Amino acid sequence: MSDTFWIVVGFAGQLLFTSRFLVQWLASERRRESVVPVAFWWLSLAGGLTLLTYALYRQDPVFILGQGMGLFIYLRNLMLLARSAREKAA
């Protein structure tokens, strides 16, 4: 694949990753308190996976480690939210 393709992948990942802050800010403004909506974690996961893919292509160990560690945190938060939702439904 061309370098242009990978640059687009990198920018797409960065756009996804950055958009999570906009989502969090708007949700907080709406509720008039600091909140972290579920969409924040999904955007974190999508952006992190995309950026990890780009980092693997670039063979950047620092970037790979940073994104890889973040993915664990995003997945864990989604798991905790899912468990909480199941417990509330029961």
Average pLDDT, the chain: 92
If we measure between CA atoms, which residue out of 54, 64, 57 comes closest to residue 11?
A: 54
- In this prediction the pTM is 0.84
pLDDT digits 0-9 by tens, 30-69: 999 999 999 999 999 999 999 999 999 999 999 899 999 9
Tokens at residue 62, please?
């620092």
How far is it, in rounded angstroms, from Cα 30 to Cα 11?
A: 29
Band of residue 17 on the pLDDT scale cut at 50, 70, 90: confident
